[in-house]
Amino acid sequence: MTYIGCYNSTGTHPHSLRPPHGTQISRGHHECLIMMTSRMPLTCAMCCILALFICAGSIPFVDAADANSSQIQLTDEQRLYKKLMNNYDRNTRPVFNASHPVNVNISISLTQIFDVDEKNQVLTTNIWLDQSWMDEKLIWNPSDYNNLTVLRIPCTNIWLPDIVLYNSAEDYTGGYMEALAMVSFDGTVFWPPIVKFRSTCEIDITYYPFDDQLCKMKFGSWAYDGSQVDVFNTTKGVDLTNFVQNGEWELISVKSIRHNIQYPCCSEMFPDVTFWIHLKRRTLYYTYNVIIPCVMLSILTMVGFWIRPESGEKVSLGLTVLLAFSVFMLLIAENMPATSNFVPLIGIYLTTVMALTSLSVIMAVLTSNINIRGFKEVDLPRWLRAVIIIGAKINCMKLAYVTKADCGMHEDKERYHQMHTTFSNDSGCALIDYENNSTKQKCEMTDNAREPVRREADLSSDTWLAREILSRLQLLVDKEEERERADLLCKRWMEAAEVIDRCLFWVFIFGTVFSTIILLVVIPTVRPYENHGNLVPS
């Protein structure tokens, strides 16, 4: 059998078909084998190159001219960013000499005071935390990039100082705003994130609601000491250009002070920048909602002394005012921290007026008791009558019933007993003498002249009837006198109660006005400024 081509009729490669033993190979077939053998190294090389590009994930279908054109299309910021981020490590300090510190300048722009929580002693503020430092690995020549001097870089791609708020009330899980960092060609980095801080603040409520509060915000590096990261306060200090006024607090001043402190944990010095914020409470809200209602309730307490003691409403009014003061006291206690270090001024004022109101209730009970003492037909003691007369003169009151003289109850009884005996044993002349305030001797007769008349009167029934009539009339007169005397005693005690009420009214009006002026006007005006005001602790 003879083979004349490289492939047989079935299309099978000649290497896959070996001729039988002893079969002669034709010349054409021999030349085909030689040609294929010479091309095998080139084919293998091409396959290896193809496999290499496939593994690398890119097949270079662009020639050199296309590569040059794509490089020209990159912007200046892209070329600069790729150059700066080449081999940049954000986990190490950006200084080539490890003995040099990174100086971080800190300043804040206070935009708003959200809240001052007196109960939890927390100050909530919204600020722009301006931080700037020198990064020696981010320096370039502006002429190489068409005078590009500032480049904005995501803050997550460069090194950032670990500046934290030392007296923060948060749990440190939120972090700062991922704002762009502005990098200058000389390596200066400026990063101003917007942060909402909740810082602890010792609230002094001694002069509440006329109080000033001095809160601090302490910033510094947490992990680096002063030899690695040093912090400074800038000359700008605090920027208040975008500050929004708070309805409850007035911002007096903000100052920054740098400290260098050695803590017990470490031997190195740790610098920090502390911002002191001086706030003053606006009193208009508390004046309308707390102070004025308290003054009105105090006026109601004083008006209670003008109610007549027999009306029975003095005690009810006093208790109602006392309950109203208790409601105000609970309202203020809800907003105050549960501390024994400070007692608020408004609390002292409420306690004072509540004490005056309680005393007014006690005095109302006392005057009511004095008012009804006259029904026991007991006369005023002499010392009490003297006090009442002096009090009436002080209050310019005219007394109609209270005098220094007694009612004379015992003398009246003796006069009644003597008169009754005279009426029983006399013929009527004693009654005439009693009415005419004459003595008994003016109507006496001689013994010889009176005896016949007395015998004759005893025998006459008309004389007995006259004596009985006179006796009945005398009883009516005595009862009327007793009634008048009892009424005089009642009026005496009632007049004494009115004088006491008037004296207590002036005492209470003086106490209320004095306490109001001292506690709400004088003390807030002349309070000391050792810890508050323009003096800031160093």
Q: Residue 379 has what DSSP assignment?
A: P
Angle between helices 461-517 and 292-303 (to 10 degrees): 160
Least confident of 79-93, 185-199, 469-483: 469-483
Q: What confidence score (pLDDT) does residue 305 get?
A: 81
Mean pLDDT of 184-202: 93
Element (H, E) at 525: helix 523-526
- When mean pLDDT is compared over 44-53, 190-199, 227-236, 300-309, the highest value belongs to 190-199
pLDDT in tens, 59-107: 444 444 444 444 567 888 999 999 999 989 999 999 999 999 999 999 9
Q: What confidence score (pLDDT) does residue 442 get?
A: 40
Q: Are 176 and 192 in contact (CB under 8 A)?
A: no
Q: Residue 157 has what DSSP assignment?
A: G
pLDDT band at 529 (very low <50, low <70, confident <90, very high): low
Supply the pTM of this predicted model.
0.66
- What's the half-sphere exposure (Cβ side, CA atoms, 13 Å) at 138? 26
Mean pLDDT of 420-447: 44
| pLDDT at 409 exceeding the cut of 60 | no
CA 374 vs. chain centroid, Å, equals 54
pLDDT in tens, 138-184: 999 999 999 999 999 999 999 999 999 999 988 776 678 888 999 99
Q: Are 511 and 505 in contact (CB under 8 A)?
A: no
Average pLDDT, the chain: 77
* SS3 of 312-335: CCHHHHHHHHHHHHHHHHHHHHHH
